[in-house]
């Protein structure tokens, strides 16, 4: 053990002197061998609206809570001298040992020392398993920075070995392909644990997940190429995908391509990979990077299809993608409104004269003034903003519709026996209704929202019913305004929940 680590052990094991607690900052400074804030430097992000932050924070907390069981105590064969010390640590932290976590920490640190003495490989499950127990004890003692440094030490070792050149000594520590994939599985678990401990720093968490996911994705891509399957290629926007037994059939402009499912390519780290992708998407929402979140969801849904993931998980991922694209359309619409206000102000016009494309099209004088007062660069920016908004709405609609199409193709017994599938179908129907409401297609929106309400009640999706009622209220109000000759389309902020379910 490093001298600094021994010093930490001694200091950590001293009983606290009342009324002050253990001086954690001092201990952290002695124990730390790595600084994640220097390893992963995420760029500063602009401030964004509160909606994605609140939605994503709930998602991140639920995802982390559901995943914490992966940080288990591995049951492996230890050298007898190490096993003897470990039994003392396990006894100390148990109820019989009165949950004495400081004493347990002492024994686990001694076990690491003994591992070093007898030559246990630091890359082995035995060695890292003891390190995990050290980290767990630090967490139980509320020494979270020290725990993070322990997990960081493990993660750094995995990164070093998994990214080492083929002829290097570090690379030769990997015995075979199965061992490499096992290390990737453990590496992703550590990455998720580090995100849990850095939940208040989403930019850092994003950088951690990206770094570790790249390694897993490279491994998947290599194996896909070896199997003759496309690696990470996104199909054209106008494609349609259907699932037939063990294959995925892509149809694009009359051309049909069949891709064989390859679940073995993601084993044994499929669960860790998709949990990490889910977390990355949620964190991107939290920091307002909806474009990145959408790309993550597209890649994740494609991978889940190839990995033959459970149907309800694929449907939920696709439904979440539709919600993200719709929120992204809202951002483009806000940019469109801001540009229109700017153009009106610079041309000396009232904003009401150019508030919508229809009003502008009816006012030739305003068109002439804007033609002269707006630069070519601003015209291009404005046109691209409108195009991007329309494209996002189009893709969001297709995402929701694909959920319904996919669900219709499932065996009746599978669909009826899985409440998650029914809830996802209700959510996709709701999403379509909101899209058509925003487009002022009131009859279609009302039909879809009513259908979603029926589906939600039938499957007990109570939390969505309130959202549906709110959208129906907005719809009835706009229809009433339209009948009274008032402006029927309210371009308020888009309201749509993003539900990520496990």
Greatest C-alpha distance within the chain: 90
pLDDT at 44: 41
Flag whether the pTM goes above 0.95: no
Q: Average pLDDT in the 441-461 region?
A: 93
Residue pLDDT, tens place only, 322-368: 998 898 898 899 998 888 888 877 777 777 777 776 666 666 777 77
pLDDT at 257: 64
From the list 462, 444, 440, the residue with the least C-alpha distance to 453 is 462
> 251: pLDDT confidence band, cut at 50, 70 and 90?
low
> 30: pLDDT confidence band, cut at 50, 70 and 90?
very low
Residue pLDDT, tens place only, 458-483: 888 999 999 999 999 999 998 888 88
Alpha helices per DSSP H over 287-411: 290-306, 311-347, 357-362, 364-373, 376-408
For residues 312 and 309, what is the distance between their CA atoms, to the nearest angstrom? 8
Q: Which two tokens stand for residue 256?
A: 């049909």
**Percent of the chain with pLDDT strictly greater than 70:** 73
> 243: pLDDT confidence band, cut at 50, 70 and 90?
low
Contact 403, 322 (CB under 8 A): yes
Residue pLDDT, tens place only, 7-25: 444 444 444 444 433 333 2
Specify the 3-state DSSP secondary structure of 255: strand
> 412: pLDDT confidence band, cut at 50, 70 and 90?
confident
> 58: pLDDT confidence band, cut at 50, 70 and 90?
very low
DSSP state of 150: H
pLDDT at 141: 94
Q: Average pLDDT in the 430-447 region?
A: 93
Q: Which two tokens stand for residue 376?
A: 């070519």
Of the listed ranges 20-24, 290-294, 355-359, 375-379, the least confidently predicted one is 20-24
Alpha-carbon distance values, 103 to 22, 130, 203 (Å): 15, 15, 36
> 431: pLDDT confidence band, cut at 50, 70 and 90?
very high
From the list 172, 89, 88, 90, the residue with the least C-alpha distance to 123 is 172
Three-class SS of 161-193: HHCCCCCCCCHHHCCCHHHHHHHHHHHHHHHHH
Q: Average pLDDT in the 276-288 region?
A: 90
pLDDT at 73: 42
Residue pLDDT, tens place only, 82-140: 999 999 999 999 988 889 999 999 999 999 999 999 999 999 999 999 999 999 999 99
For residues 283 and 463, what is the distance between their CA atoms, to the nearest angstrom? 23
Q: Average pLDDT in the 210-221 region?
A: 94
From the list 250, 257, 285, the residue with the least C-alpha distance to 497 is 285
pLDDT at 487 over 50: yes
pLDDT at 237 over 70: no
pLDDT at 410 over 80: no
Specify the 3-state DSSP secondary structure of 249: strand
Q: Average pLDDT in the 285-290 region?
A: 87
pLDDT at 495 over 60: no
């Amino acid at each position: 053990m490093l001298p600094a680590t021994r010093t930490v052990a001694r200091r950590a094991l001293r009983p606290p002197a009342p009324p002050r607690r253990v001086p954690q900052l001092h201990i952290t400074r002695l124990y730390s061998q790595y600084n994640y804030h220097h390893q992963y430097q995420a760029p500063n992000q602009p401030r964004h609206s509160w909606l994605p932050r609140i939605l994503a924070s709930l998602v991140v907390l639920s995802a982390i809570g559901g995943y914490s069981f992966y940080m288990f105590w591995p049951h492996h064969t230890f050298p007898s001298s190490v096993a003897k010390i470990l039994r003392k640590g396990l006894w100390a932290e148990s109820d019989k040992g009165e949950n004495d976590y400081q004493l347990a920490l002492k024994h686990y640190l001694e076990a690491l020392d003994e591992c070093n003495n007898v030559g246990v490989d630091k890359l082995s499950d035995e060695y890292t398993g003891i390190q995990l127990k050290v980290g767990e004890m630090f967490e139980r003692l509320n020494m979270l920075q020290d725990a993070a440094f322990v997990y960081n030490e493990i993660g750094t070792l995995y990164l070093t070995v998994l990214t080492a050149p083929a002829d290097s000594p570090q690379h030769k520590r990997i015995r075979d392909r199965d061992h490499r994939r096992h290390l990737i599985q453990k590496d992703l678990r550590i990455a998720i644990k580090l995100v849990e401990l850095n939940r208040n720093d989403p930019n850092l968490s994003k950088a951690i997940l990206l770094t570790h996911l790249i390694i897993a994705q490279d491994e998947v891509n290599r194996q896909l190429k070896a199997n003759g399957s496309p690696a990470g290629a996104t199909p054209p926007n106008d494609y349609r995908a259907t699932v037939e037994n063990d294959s995925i059939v892509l149809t694009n402009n009359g051309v049909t391509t069949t891709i064989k499912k390859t679940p073995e390519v993601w084993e044994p780290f499929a669960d860790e990979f998709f949990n990490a992708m889910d977390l990355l998407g949620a964190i991107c929402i939290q920091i307002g990077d909806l474009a990145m979140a959408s790309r993550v969801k597209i890649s994740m849904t494609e991978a889940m299809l190839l990995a033959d993931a459970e149907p309800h998980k694929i449907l939920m991922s696709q439904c979440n993608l539709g919600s993200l694209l719709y929120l992204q359309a809202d951002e483009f619409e806000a940019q469109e409104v801001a540009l229109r206000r700017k153009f009106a102000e610079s041309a000396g016009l009232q904003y009401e004269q150019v508030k919508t494309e229809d009003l502008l099209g009816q006012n030739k004088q305003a068109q002439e003034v804007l033609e002269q007062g707006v630069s070519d660069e601003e015209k291009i920016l404005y046109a691209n903003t409108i195009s991007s908004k329309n494209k996002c709405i189009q893709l969001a609609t297709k995402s929701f519709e694909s959920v319904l199409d996919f669900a219709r193709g499932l065996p009746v017994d599978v669909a009826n026996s899985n409440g998650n599938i029914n809830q996802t179908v209700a959510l996709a129907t709701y999403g379509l209704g909101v899209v058509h409401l925003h487009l002022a297609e009131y009859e279609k929106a009302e039909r879809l929202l009513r259908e979603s309400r029926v589906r939600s009640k039938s499957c007990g999706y109570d939390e969505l019913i309130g959202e549906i009622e709110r959208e129906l209220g907005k719809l009835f109000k706009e229809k009433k305004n339209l009948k009274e000759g008032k402006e029927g389309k309210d371009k308020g902020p888009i309201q749509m929940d993003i539900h990520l379910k496990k």
